[in-house]
Amino acid sequence: MIALVTGAAGGIGAAVSRRLTDDGFTVVGMDLPDVDVTSSEQVEAFVDRVEAVRGPVAALVNAAGILRTGRAVELSDGDWAATLAVNSSGVFHVSRAVARRMIPRRAGAIVTVASNASRTARQNMAAYAASKAAATAFTKCLGLELAEHGIRCNVVAPGSTETPMLTGLWDGSDALRTSVEGAPGAYRVGIPLGRVAQPSDVADAVAFLLSERAAHITMQDLTVDGGASLGV
């Protein structure tokens, strides 16, 4: 079976690719510079090639994402547009291209990697949170529309995960320590389980939702954040 994974070159996307390979999928990665998810033309052409050369896509994981931080009133037009283009429009472009091909086959599963920030306010993350909220809502609506075709669509919402995106926020080990302990001055609780997630933790959740063990699960949002959002 073919699994298409966006953002496969690193971080969560790379961990998902490894896990799905272990599960028996033939994984096709989609990432820069080969394909830009913000371009619907590039996405359509890439999915066409994959299906022509490798075979039908049975699973899609939307893991591509970028993070541009800053106070909402100070965000540039460029940062806002770039964040929405990758994290929201990218999910739309790839999901639409794959879903169109899954419908006639009446089979398939889609998982979007969003964020717990999509429903928990975070300082300096307005663009990222908004983009992930849009991706979450889109994926659930897509799941409702595709249910009659036997296609499942779910969301995995990680919290702080040990990737370059997280460690780039602070210097040295401060990124991990601050994530675990929290930041009261920023109204941010810590992580009750006492550690940040590893990319493999998120990959395990993605793999479950793509598997037959989740055959009756669709339109769900599975949080993987060690309790950081307090179950909300």
pLDDT tens digits, 206-220: 999 999 999 999 999
Q: Provide the pLDDT for residue 44.
A: 98
Residue 175 has pLDDT above 70, yes or no: no
Cα 48 from Cα 99, distance rounded (Å): 12
Q: Which residues are catalytic?
A: 128
Task: Tell me which residue of 164, 146, 134 sits closest to 9, measured CA to CA.
Answer: 164
Q: What is the mean pLDDT of the chain?
A: 94
By percentage, how much of the chain surpasses pLDDT 90? 86
Least confident of 138-147, 165-174, 221-230: 165-174
Cα 174 from Cα 169, distance rounded (Å): 9
Split at pLDDT 50, 70, 90, the class of 75 is very high
Please state the domain extents for the chain. Answer: 2-163+198-224
Other Cβ atoms within 10 Å of 81 Cβ, number: 15
Q: Provide the pLDDT for residue 182.
A: 81
Q: Alpha-carbon torsion 169, 170, 173, 176, what sign?
A: negative
Q: Provide the pLDDT for residue 192.
A: 93
Q: Write out the two tokens for 222.
A: 């599975």
Cα 196 from Cα 192, distance rounded (Å): 10
The answer to whether residues 9 and 35 touch, using CB atoms and an 8 Å cutoff, is: no
The answer to whether residues 113 and 61 touch, using CB atoms and an 8 Å cutoff, is: yes
Degrees to nearest 5, angle at CA 170 with 167 and 176: 55
Least confident of 116-125, 142-151, 174-183, 190-199: 174-183
Q: Domain 2-163+198-224 maps to which CATH number in 3.40.190.80, 3.40.50.720, 3.55.40.10, 1.10.10.10?
A: 3.40.50.720
By percentage, how much of the chain surpasses pLDDT 70? 96
